[in-house]
Amino acid sequence: MDILSETRFLMKKYNITANKSLGQNFLIDEEVILNTVKSAGINEKDLVIEIGPGLGTLTNELLKKAGKVICVELDKKMVEILTDRFLLFKNIKILNEDILKIDLNKIIEENKEYNIKIVANLPYYITTPIIMKLLESRANFDSITVMVQKEVADRLCAKTGKREAGAITYAVEYYSISEKLFIVPRTSFVPQPNVESEVINLKIRKEKLYNVANEEKLFKIIKYAFMQRRKTLLNALQNTEFCSDKEHLRKALNELGIDEKVRGEALTLQDFVKLSNCI
């Protein structure tokens, strides 16, 4: 049975439709599935944490390669299907949990005999919070291989200081080395989404990229800069906890050789690090 027929069979058997509120689109493209698993470099020494496995199409391939797979699925109906489908597999654990609330460090500590990798076809509506949760957790995993909306992939993997970058781009560069892998057409899903997708890989940095005095301050400054990205950096930071005195900030920018009329979007991650450490 091919993947499309299998997907239709499962949807009919369990009387389900894709849950739009959970961003569900079921992957039916075998080539995409095989390429995703191959790109993640999965082997028997790995524990894969799969986020939002849905019907288990990607899960099925992961189980063939990984030493263990932990599925984190919010939808109870999908948990029922996954439990039935993979009843005889010994290397799977299914958690009916919200990935944004789960303790990743606890899971990893309980499975420290494995190398940990994250693999997922992420719901588009919640991609950014999930990526930030994974990065900020500082959990000891090796990589994140995920399928996201192409527009989001462009932003995640952009170069900081370029127009395509957003606030999250700086976090991605700070915590990882990003790589765009391949485009996934909308025809690879049932139902078809309105956008194209792309698989990306984030290889987690084991050493800090820069010496940052206060990481929380750094990312707050970046956040303020992008909340009002059409304003100059000086004006965007005005009246925040980092700029009670505009002249002090102007002096800091001048000392760093940064034009006081610059917009935050023109600064690289290294520029923001220098500014954060300075003020």
* Residue 121: HSE in the Cβ half-sphere, 13 Å Cα cutoff: 28
Q: How far apart are CA 138 and CA 125, in angstroms?
A: 23
3-204 belongs to CATH 3.40.50.150 = yes
Residue 240's pLDDT band (cuts 50, 70, 90): confident
pLDDT at 20 exceeding the cut of 70: no
pLDDT above 90 coverage of the chain, percent: 73
CATH number of 215-278: 1.10.8.100
How do the domains of the chain map onto residue ranges?
3-204, 215-278
* pTM of this prediction exceeds 0.85: yes
Average pLDDT, the chain: 92
pLDDT at 21 exceeding the cut of 70: no
Residue 23's pLDDT band (cuts 50, 70, 90): low
CA torsion 38-28-148-58 (nearest 10°) is -50
Q: How far apart are CA 37 and CA 127, in angstroms?
A: 19
Instruction: Count Cβ atoms within 10 A of the Cβ of residue 176 and give its class: 0-12 exposed, 13-18 middle, 19 or more buried.
Output: buried
Residue 204's pLDDT band (cuts 50, 70, 90): very high
Contact yes or no for 178/200 (Cβ under 8 A): yes
Whole-number pLDDT of residue 237: 84
